[in-house]
Chain A
Amino acid sequence: MASHADLEEPLRRLRTRLAELESFPESPARNRDIQKLTEKLRRLTREIYQNLGPWQKTLVARHPLRPYTLDYARLLLRDFVEIQGDRAFADDPALVAGFGFLSDRPVAFIGHQKGRDTKEKIRRNFGMARPEGYRKALRVMKLAEKFGRPVITLIDTPGAYPGLDSEERGVSEAIARNLYEMSILKTPVLSVVIGEGGSGGALGIGVADVLAMLEHSVYSVISPEGCAAILWKDQARAQEAAEALRLTAGDCKALGVIDEIIAEPPGGAHSNPVEAIETVGRFLRSELEKLQKTGLEKLLAGRYAKFRRMGVFEGSPSSK
């Protein structure tokens, strides 16, 4: 399966037939058929989306109509103000940041941003941030710490930008610095993988007290294509790689990497963006409520313990 369109082909066929039927004059037989077909469409949608394999989920996670960070900001936040620039080199439109009210609670809001049309995709660099994106994110996190605001980050990137300028300006250092500073940031941090969690570029805003993934999002150390290219010298074997990498929300939960899986609408977040965004909103509000009741010391100790535990090995356990 090469694209998301293949996955939805049976649904598309049903929708076409349904549209045809709807154009017929009303009759009891036609209405009965419409009802049957609608029911079948719903059943099939559920069936397809409940049984997505790792590669299919990768395709859904990259679906061009999936809600992006700024869609969440628009729908969930009141009086959102975008903050721009890293104060050292430039602004990075591939990673957006700002402040807004989530219900009545002021929060810092940070996330990778992909584009919808060609022009926007290029401007947003397909959601692949450069060092200035990570440095801007840190700048906003430090502001949040200073003014006692919790931080929400949305992860949706194929990875940090692997370009010449990115290396020149120290993308490694920028990501590393964020890992370090987020570890000790004196305010609650909540992260949700909303689409693609692409390696270090994702983790660079993902050191959080609570980490969740949308049901059909993926989180991986390397893209399935990249993994296949290295292991089998063949990008076309991405499907096998996706299976081997254990990158689905269910896998990440089982491996102890994430805390929660947020359910998507029956046909995926792109089939009903408003519902998807509102579900995430409810999750964020209830988790923030809990986190803000936790004392700072306990919060930071919990964050340390959470990441310190990650990994599977044999031998004596960590002293902590």
Chain B
Amino acid sequence: MWFRSTKTPRAPRDPRTSASLGEGLFLKCDGCRETLYVKEVERNLRVCPKCGYHFRMPIEERFRMLFDEGEFTPLFQDVRPSDPLKFKDSKKYKDRLKESETRAGRPDAALAARGKLDGIGVLIAGLDYNFMGGSMGSVVGEILARGAETAVKERLPYIVITASGGARMQEGILSLMQMAKVSMALTRLGEARIPYLTLLTDPTTGGVTASFAMLGDITLAEPKALIGFAGPRVIEQTIRQTLPEGFQRSEFLRDHGFVDLVVPRASQKPVFSNLIRLLFG
């Protein structure tokens, strides 16, 4: 229900998630249909200089953007996926993992790091949509839970950046349980009165939305990101209607009371830094 299919490898590469915005010099903006110079978009934090459309951004780039001088210490890097179900569809899960690792340069879809944000020590964890659609299996759950526990131990504000199709089907019921595991670990932060802040990016759906994405003390979202429980196609099939314009977008969630702030990329770091200083220390 909550999983967007992830065909691997993508050909041509998804210009919005791959490390470079494409092979060519130019690309067409999904927002305004203008032809843009790739280098210019990349320099502009992958935001269209003409209309402000936010292309997807790889997670390392987000870390470099948020941490001071782009410097951070990666954590929990030895946690690696296994294949508890011996799952196989058109391809073995094991092989899918191997291919994704080769492409993404990390063993699974989560990255966590410690560093400074405007001089304040923080722990940031994020999901990599380029790795099996950012789906949550045991490793993603484990890294996010460890992130919360380490943040408690070191008294660091915890920031989580989401981009995910939801739970990882290939790990079956264990992936569902990661929703409970991460939410459970977040209660420790709550009890220690340490801020937990989230940034929801395009897309955030399924079990990720229905757990830690919606549990932030303060919830930020990127402009026009798709955020929901069920995917739009599933909903259309259920209600047999086309969905209204802007449905399940960041602005829609803000207007319905589920997101605090829709924040353009360039303002995300100052907003986080301000919020942390307002709430903590």
Contact = CB atoms under 8 A, between A and B. Distances in A.
Contacts of B126: none
Interface residues of B, number: 67
A273 interface: no
Interface residues of A, number: 59
A184 B3 CA distance: 29
Interface stretch (B64-72, B98-106, B173-181): B173-181
A176 B90 contact: no
Q: Report, nearest first, the 6 A-B pairs whose CB atoms are least far apart.
A: A311-B138, A162-B230, A179-B183, A312-B84, A176-B214, A315-B78
Contact of B85 (A161, A164, A222, A244): A244
Nearest to A228: B89
5 contacts: A176-B179, A221-B173, A221-B175, A245-B85, A308-B184
Interface in A84-128: none
A173 to B, nearest CB: 4
A222 B1 contact: yes
A315 B214 CA distance: 29
B26 interface: no
Contact of B142 (A167, A222, A307, A311): A311
A316 B1 CA distance: 32
B257 to A, nearest CB: 7
Contact of A314 (B80, B184, B228): B80
Nearest to A167: B228
Contacts of A232: 89-90
A311 B176 CA distance: 10
A175 B213 CA distance: 11
Contacts, number: 207
B120 to A, nearest CB: 24
B82 A313 contact: yes
B21 interface: no
Interface in A57-92: none
Contacts of A203: 176-177, 179-180
Interface string A288-320: 000000000000000110011011111110111
B164 interface: no
Given A162-B235, A231-B89, A308-B181, A176 B211 contact: yes
Interface of B: 1-3, 5, 78-82, 84-85, 87-90, 137-139, 141-142, 145-146, 149, 167-169, 171-181, 183-187, 190-191, 206-207, 209-215, 228-230, 234-235, 238-239, 241, 243, 247-248, 256-258
A172 B2 CA distance: 12
Contacts of A183: 180, 183-184, 187
B229 A180 contact: no
A138 B98 CA distance: 41
A206 B183 CA distance: 13
A312 B179 CA distance: 14
Interface string A224-248: 0011001110000000000011110
A26 interface: no
B234 A162 contact: yes
A320 B149 contact: yes
Nearest to A200: B210
A8 to B, nearest CB: 27
A156 to B, nearest CB: 16
Contacts of B172: 220-221, 244-247, 251, 255
Contacts of A169: 256
B229 A166 contact: yes
B212 A176 contact: yes
Contacts of A244: 85, 87-89, 172
A175 B109 CA distance: 23
A10 interface: no
Given A207-B183, A230-B169, 20 more contacts: A160-B210, A164-B239, A164-B241, A166-B230, A167-B235, A170-B258, A172-B213, A173-B258, A175-B210, A175-B229, A176-B215, A179-B210, A200-B2, A200-B179, A200-B229, A220-B173, A222-B167, A310-B180, A311-B141, A311-B142
A308 B149 CA distance: 11
Interface in A249-272: 251-252, 255, 257
A28 interface: no
Contacts of A166: 229-230
A52 to B, nearest CB: 18
B35 to A, nearest CB: 34
Given A203-B176, A245-B172, A310-B180, A177 B82 contact: no
A199 interface: yes
Given A199-B207, A200-B206, A200-B229, A312 B174 contact: yes
B1 A162 contact: yes
B3 A255 contact: no
B87 A167 contact: no
B150 to A, nearest CB: 8
A172 B209 contact: yes
Interface in A150-166: 159-164, 166
Contact of B247 (A162, A167, A219, A231): A167
B207 A200 contact: yes
B213 A176 contact: yes
A203 B185 CA distance: 16
B21 to A, nearest CB: 28
